[in-house]
Amino acid sequence: MKSAPTSNGGGVPVVIRGLHKSLAGQPVLCGVDLAIEPGEIFVIMGPSGSGKSVLLRHIIGLTSPDAGEVLIGGESIQSPSVRDRIRMAMVFQSGALLNSLTVAENVGLYLREHALLPPAQIDARVAEKLAAVGLTGQEDKLPGELSGGMKKRVAIARALVVEPQLLLYDEPTSELDPMMAATVSREIVALQRRLHVTSIIVSHDRDLAFGIAHRLAIIREGRILCVGTPEAVRALPDAGVREFLDANFKHA
Amino acid sequence: MFFQDIGQAVLLFCRALRQWPAVWRERQKVWEQLHEIGNASLFMACLLAFFIGGVLALQTGPVMSDRGVSNFIGGMVGLAMCKELGPVMMAVLISGRIGSAMAAEIGSMQVYQEIDALRTMNIDPVRYLVLPRLVAIVVGLPLLVLFAVVVGWMGGALVCMSNPEINLTYNGYMNSLSNMVRVGDVANGLIKSIAFAVVIGVVSCHQGLNTIGGPRGVGRSVTKAVVNSIVMILMLDYVLTRLMIRL
Ligand SMILES: Nc1ncnc2c1ncn2[C@@H]1O[C@H](COP(=O)(O)OP(=O)(O)OP(=O)(O)O)[C@@H](O)[C@H]1O
Ligand SMILES: [Mg+2]
């Protein structure tokens, strides 16, 4: 059967070249170029509305660009066979859980649909991943009965279960308390260590970004402002970068 | 717009056909959908068919009795029910009850990015969502039509027996019916209903998958699914009747 690859062959490189996209007549991405190494944790930061979610949708092939291309492991994401060859997963900003399935069914969906494991082992794997995001005992709830942060954690568990070669996270910690955010960050790093997965994380969370990123990029109005290691980016004198990174709540 | 929708729906049908080998794997979902169809429409179908059969007898019975051809009433009601009214009325009912639900469910999955999530997991939405619904309706609608036809015949019989202006007994009605209605006529109606089921399933799933915008988009998709289905059913009904006229 045409299905997902049965084993994880390690992280894949991602190359983004000259990506342009206009939505509803407005330019959203204006020439994005990035090269992400296999097994890298790459964080993308940027102000709200700067096109981060749209960029992630292009990387995983949900939206096709007006110009430019995305290569996953050397193959265009738009080619039909790439998904059969490379395991990918994405944590959507809204979670995007299937509302008619329970938490456990959502998390086990990938394994079940591709018949990768016998049912008993799927249940065990699901329980393990739910435990990793602190949701033991919530297996039989429906997404409608969960809080925003719980939905996000189920979505993360659903992505972890895939054991992907490329994993995209859209603001994985935005709705979580600081402790849970730290747990999730640890899981992201643990998965990367264990499977050498290429992780692309969109986040506003500066602790997460500077804590776990191998490299990070800052995007603004559809353009990449800078790319580099956390130390390098922190040391940049560029005013736009500084303004974004140093923003703080101050009493007037 | 209408013709573009039809073209895209035909493409969707072809994609669903290519997934045909996966039907056995999706049997659980097919079963659930069949249940849905049965639960939502069995009672309504019964009620509708009974009254249609009854009113057919009521409209034609007195006139035919006056002209001394009351022994044709059973056959007339029988043929009208199984060749035309059974398949068409059930298809209209099902597009309102099941087609709308399909468009709404798939449409809201589209709006809430659930379909995007399926695609990132390399789960083909056509296999996961469209195929089970299509198979269920193609199996379910003919069964429902068969049931409705029999109920409609009974409705006609009851009216003939109980109405003094119609000069016909139950046995007379049934004899007339069994003399004029052949198995082929019932099959004719069932073939139509299979075609209608494909139309409802494909059009509704297509509208659902093509939903854009928020809840309002879902509402638009549901309306279009039902209206387009009914229009296509009535047009197709003429074409199929013409093709099968001497069958
Ligand atoms: N489907 C769409 N149709 C039209 N415009 C869109 C669509 N999706 C996004 N946009 C526009 O693209 C721009 C970037 O949106 P995007 O969702 O990528 O922002 P973001 O960087 O993820 O912001 P946030 O941090 O708030 O999630 C916004 O101006 C938005 O209005
Ligand atoms: Mg976003």
The partner residue sitting opposite A96, judged by closest CB among B108, B116, B123, is B116
More confident residue, A93 or A248: A93
Alpha carbon distance A23, B246 (integer Å): 55
CATH of domain A10-87+165-252: 3.40.50.300
Q: Looking at chain A from residue 130 to 169, which residues have their Cβ under 8 Å from any Cβ of chain B? A: 162
Q: Is the CB of A62 under 6 A from ligand 1?
A: no
So what's the pLDDT on residue A4? 55
Q: How confident is the model at residue A6 (pLDDT cuts 50, 70, 90)?
A: low
Q: What is the DSSP string of A41-79?
A: EEEEE--TTSSHHHHHHHHTTSS--SEEEEEETTEETTS
Distance from CA of A2 to the nearest CA of B (A): 10
Residue A113 and residue B109: Cβ atoms within 8 Å? Answer: no
Q: Which helix (H) or strand (E) holds A29?
A: strand A26-36
Alpha carbon distance A142, A156 (integer Å): 16
Amino acid at A209: A
Lowest mean pLDDT among A42-51, A231-240, B53-62, B149-158: A231-240
- Could you tell me where the beta strands, DSSP code E, fall in A73-135? 75-76, 88-91
So what's the pLDDT on residue B148? 93
**CB-CB neighbors (< 8 A) of A94 in chain B:** 112-113
So what's the pLDDT on residue A167? 93
Q: Indicate whether A100 pLDDT > 60.
A: yes
Degrees to nearest 5, angle at CA A178 with A93 and A124: 65
Q: How confident is the model at residue A1 (pLDDT cuts 50, 70, 90)?
A: very low
So what's the pLDDT on residue B132? 93
Residue B116 and residue A62: Cβ atoms within 8 Å? Answer: yes
Amino acid at B122: N
Q: What is the mean pLDDT of residues A8-33?
A: 89
Residue count (chain A):
252
Distance from CA of A88 to the nearest CA of B (A): 7
Q: Is the CB of A54 under 6 A from ligand 1?
A: yes
Number of other CB atoms surrounding residue A133 within 10 Å: 23
Domain residue spans in chain B? 2-246
Chain B residue with Cα closest to A57? B116
Q: How confident is the model at residue A191 (pLDDT cuts 50, 70, 90)?
A: confident
Partner A contacted by B247 (CB < 8 A): no
Q: Under 8 Å CB-to-CB from B231, ≥6 apart: which residues?
A: B2
Q: Is the CB of A52 under 6 A from ligand 1?
A: yes
Between β-strands A26-36 and A88-91, what pairing exists: parallel, antiparallel or unpaired? unpaired
pTM of the model: 0.89
List every span in chain A annotated with CATH 3.40.50.300: 10-87+165-252
**N- to C-terminal Cα distance for chain A?**
63
Chain A residue with Cα closest to B110? A96
